[in-house]
Amino acid sequence: MTTEVSEMDSPALMKVSNLVKHYGDVRAVDGVSFAVPKSEVFTLLGPNGAGKTTTLEILEGIREADAGEIEIFGERVRRVDRAVKERIGVLLQEGNFEPYLRVREVLSLFASFFRSARSPAEMLKAVALEEKANALVKTLSGGQKQRLAIGVALINDPELVFLDEPTTGLDPQARRNIWSIVSGLTASGKTIILTTHYMDEAETLSQTVCIMDHGKVIAEGTPRELTSRLGQDTIVEFVAPAEAGLPAALGDRVRVARGEGGLVSVTTGDLVSTLAGLLDWSRSSGHALAEMTVRQPNLEDVFLSLTGRRLRA
């Protein structure tokens, strides 16, 4: 599906139309269009290999597209040049800093690349690394390294910030620290383009989510708009051993799927009847409905319903 660029309520800081990038036979980006509203977190959500990084690299000026149009800061550009780069910030997926530099030195070094930059002291505060100012990069934890990388991405006080998978591999506390920094950025007027394959990250941070798969945008909207596509469905999940089989006779409006670790997901349009049926099944089969939860659909369920696959395969 190709999503046409549409006029949005808030002015778009960036518009992309029919972007294409092939690597040999691989159609990494296959006709992608979207508009990024100002002062929002705009997220490209998709599994590994969906084309998110390639799309970002084109918009960051690291790669050239085979075809397509890019409009940024109100101007149509053939490719992202030096003048545009002064106004954007980039967190690369695999950023590594010299391990024997100190945190403050890394920020000073990157500040020197720009005509106008914020002071290292300001950035240390913004990413909560003041206590680590004199620490060597190699002594930082994964979360601290990532906060330093975000500090570097913000050093030129950019209007538009690209964050490519900012929390991959981080523990839950470190992820939440990064989320709070990202939320603070939009509150101060910055626009963020984020990529992630974590549906909870997309749901928590984004105003707009573009779901990508196989180089294409397959759905776009607010997290609520996307999940409401699944209608009034409710999902009941519990853990049961494989030999328990799957509950039968729950009615027509129910989809039952088995996931990792014995997780059984029952999607239902009639919660009361489904719960009654599950309790009957539990009583007659002797299998407990272990760790049972009842929840509304999330973006993972949207992806599953669109592609038949899970985001994190």
| 166 in contact with ligand ATP (CB under 6 A) | no
| 50 in contact with ligand ATP (CB under 6 A) | yes
- Pick one of 54, 146, 167, 186: the residue that binds ligand ATP (CB under 6 A): 54
Q: Name the closest residue to ligand ATP (Cβ).
A: 53
CB of 28 to ligand ATP, least distance (A): 3
| 312 in contact with ligand ATP (CB under 6 A) | no
Residue 43: which H helix or E strand, with range? strand 41-45
- Pick one of 16, 41, 42, 46: the residue that binds ligand ATP (CB under 6 A): 46
| 28 in contact with ligand ATP (CB under 6 A) | yes
Give me the torsion for CA of 128, 131, 135, 141, rounded to 10°: -50
| 288 in contact with ligand ATP (CB under 6 A) | no
The one segment of 1-9, 23-31, 83-91, 124-132 that binds ligand ATP by CB under 6 A: 23-31
Q: Any long-range contacts for 70-76 (C-beta under 8 Å, 24+ apart)?
A: 70/14, 70/15, 70/16, 70/19, 71/12, 71/14, 71/15, 71/16, 72/13, 72/14, 72/15, 72/160, 73/13, 73/14, 73/159, 73/160
Q: How far apart are CA 191 and CA 39, in angstroms?
A: 4
Contact 127, 140 (CB under 8 A): no
Minimum CB distance to ligand ATP smaller for 51 or for 61:
51
- Pick one of 48, 141, 222, 285: the residue that binds ligand ATP (CB under 6 A): 48
| 64 in contact with ligand ATP (CB under 6 A) | no
Which positions from 191 through 210 interact with ligand ATP, judged by CB under 6 A?
Answer: 197
**What tokens appear for 150 in the block?**
């975000």
Q: Give the interface with ligand ATP as residue ranges (CB under 6 A).
A: 23, 26, 28, 46, 48-54, 197
